[in-house]
Amino acid sequence: MARDRISSALGVLISLGLVIVSLRYITDFWLLAFFFSLQPQLAVVAALGSLLSLAFHRSRFGYGLLVLSLLLGAHAFWMKREFLPSPDAPPAADATQIRLLSFNMLGNNDANARRIGDMVKASGADVAYLFEAGPLAPYLADLSAIYPYRIGCGVVVETCDLLMLSKHPMTNPQFVSLSDLRQNRFAVATIVVGGQPVEFAAIHVTKPYFDDYHTMELRRASRILKERGGTLVIGGDFNSDTIAPDMQRFLRRGNLQTAGVEPATWPVEAGIFGIPIDHIYMSKTIVPTALERIEDSYGSNHYGLIADLSLAPAR
């Protein structure tokens, strides 16, 4: 009887978790949004729990939970495939190569600011997006030797919450507050790459469980980017996995793709079992050739990303 009770208790807990995840197919209610990003992890945990439940007591219900767990996990990975770059689109022989770095360095990370500045300089990035970048303020003069162009930290806006650095001239810079919750967490500027203008956008979206702010901010960012038009590279801290419903709508509206198979970036303690909430997306006319997670978190609670992109010259 004890084995039956343990199996039943596990079944109840697993059922609750699966119900919460499955609600994404009915609603994208903001209070559940964080769990939608956890669908792959929760599906794996539910499958392992189902196997443990079956070990205590075999039942049709236990097998049903196992099947549902596997289906939810498989669908989570299938959803990611929709936004992967096409393997049939090799870069053009005369394409221009550009490297982008995106990193949420954590706003109180003063102890590692110099190391982060050195990492950015050594990264080979042509453009760098840095979030919660206040601790870098004392090192801006040093960074300007390699990145003579920037917006943020006294250029366009006074605040250093979002900083965009570039080796190439930036024109038509724009900072936007996507909601009344956070200020100036969306920036976009035009950089000419391979003879054509490309919109480089950096974004830091509010956490998805803060009412409907996450969805609202993504919707407003989409409108701004549509108004600017052209080829787009956008990266930053989205605080959600690509599979979240509002994230999928954002990518479909912009006809965007990922830079490759996305590594987990948060929390750093979870390593490869974490969630990819930091992203680099781009127009499908751009061919991404590499996407890597920066190995060291440099004291942040996020890992950064580096993407290599190939842009065919204007014809």
Q: What is the pLDDT of residues 19-73, one digit of tens each?
A: 988 988 988 877 788 889 999 999 999 999 899 888 888 888 889 999 999 999 9
pTM exceeds 0.85, yes or no: yes
**C-alpha dihedral sign at 226, 288, 103, 123:** negative
pLDDT, residue 30, reads 78
Helix (H, G, I), strand (E, B) or coil at 170: coil
pLDDT, residue 201, reads 98
Q: Are 33 and 206 in contact (CB under 8 A)?
A: no
The beta-strand segments (E) located in the chain are 96-104, 127-131, 149-151, 162-166, 171-176, 186-193, 196-204, 231-237, 256-258, 278-283, 287-293, 305-311
What distance in Å separates the CA atoms of residue 139 and residue 118, rounded to the nearest whole number? 10
* Greater model confidence, 15 or 258: 258
If you average pLDDT over residues 247-254, what whole number do you get? 96
If you average pLDDT over residues 118-145, what whole number do you get? 97
Q: Are 198 and 228 in contact (CB under 8 A)?
A: no
pLDDT, residue 216, reads 96
What distance in Å separates the CA atoms of residue 149 and residue 98, rounded to the nearest whole number? 16
Q: Are 277 and 241 in contact (CB under 8 A)?
A: yes
* Residue 212, CA distances (Å) to 136, 207, 266 in order: 31, 10, 22
Order of all β-strands in the sheet with 162-166: 149-151, 162-166, 127-131, 96-104, 305-311, 287-293
Write the single-letter amino acid at 177: S
120 has a pLDDT exceeding 90: yes
